Amino acid sequence: MLANLIAMGTAYFLWDARAIIKLQEYLIANDIEEENLEDNTILTDMLRVSVGSSLCRNPIKPELLNKFKDTILAFPIDNWKTVKLYRKNYIILQVACVEYLLYPNKDNEEYKKIYSCDEQKVTEVYNKLFDLPKNNIPDNVTVRAVKSFFSYDILVDDNDYLETIRLYLRGIDINSRELKYIKNRSIEIINSALDELPAPTRRRCVIS
């Protein structure tokens, strides 16, 4: 985990939903401003809260602390405090797409089928997101691209992780404008995955 933070920088928070949620909560609750990041005690506490309690058992090396500080300062502090986190984190975006845009008010088992990439669900979700006919059958490469966005083992295996995301999403306002962003951004990511896979020519979704 710590090696990932050092190697990835801001990209680390693209993939760790719990970390970015806890980071935002800390920044808001403690009224953190940019000048507070010069205090290593505050910075250390912020890192331990956001990245994990395992850090409490180990001394934090200056290299890690500096990398964490640089990661935070890559964006204005006010941005970290106010941004809807599905605009920064792919896993939160995925849950928002499934549970707010495509299938609001479904039961947990239905959501788990999507997060575990049940073959039938992959096709259904793809057609629904891309506004295609229900009987459309995507090719195998498209299925791979869709799976790369919707499949994330921790959402199936770690219910606490998923509930952390759900609790966060319940606490923010997701209006029609935000739902449009969620849809368009999800389509962008899947289209980008398609561009990276060898495949025959296919119709790509044009974002409205």
Cα–Cα distance between 91 and 113 in angstroms, integer? 16
- Pick the closest to residue 166 from 95, 107, 114 (CA basis): 95
pLDDT of residue 198: 65
Cα–Cα distance between 35 and 33 in angstroms, integer? 6
152-199 pLDDT, tens per residue? 889 999 999 999 999 999 999 999 999 999 999 999 999 998 877 665
User: What sign results for the dihedral spanned by CA atoms 66, 5, 54, 115?
Assistant: positive
pLDDT of residue 199: 52
Q: What tokens were used for 33?
A: 């401003």
46-86 pLDDT, tens per residue? 988 987 755 555 677 888 888 889 989 999 999 999 999 99
Q: What average pLDDT score do residues 34-42 get?
A: 94
pLDDT exceeds 60 at position 200: no
83-137 pLDDT, tens per residue? 999 999 999 999 999 999 999 999 998 899 899 987 788 899 999 999 999 999 9
What ranges do the domains of the chain cover?
Answer: 2-83, 87-195
How far CA 21 is from CA of 28, 180, 188, in Å, comes to: 11, 22, 23
Q: Which residue type, as a one-letter code, is found at position 106?
A: K
pLDDT of residue 202: 46
Q: Which residue type, as a one-letter code, is found at position 114?
A: I
Length of the chain measured in residues: 208
193, 149 Cβ separation under 8 angstroms:
yes
pLDDT of residue 195: 79
Q: What tokens were used for 177?
A: 């404008």
pLDDT of residue 207: 46
Q: Which residue type, as a one-letter code, is found at position 59?
A: P
pLDDT exceeds 50 at position 203: no
Q: Which residue has the higher pLDDT, 23 or 193?
A: 23
pLDDT of residue 99: 97
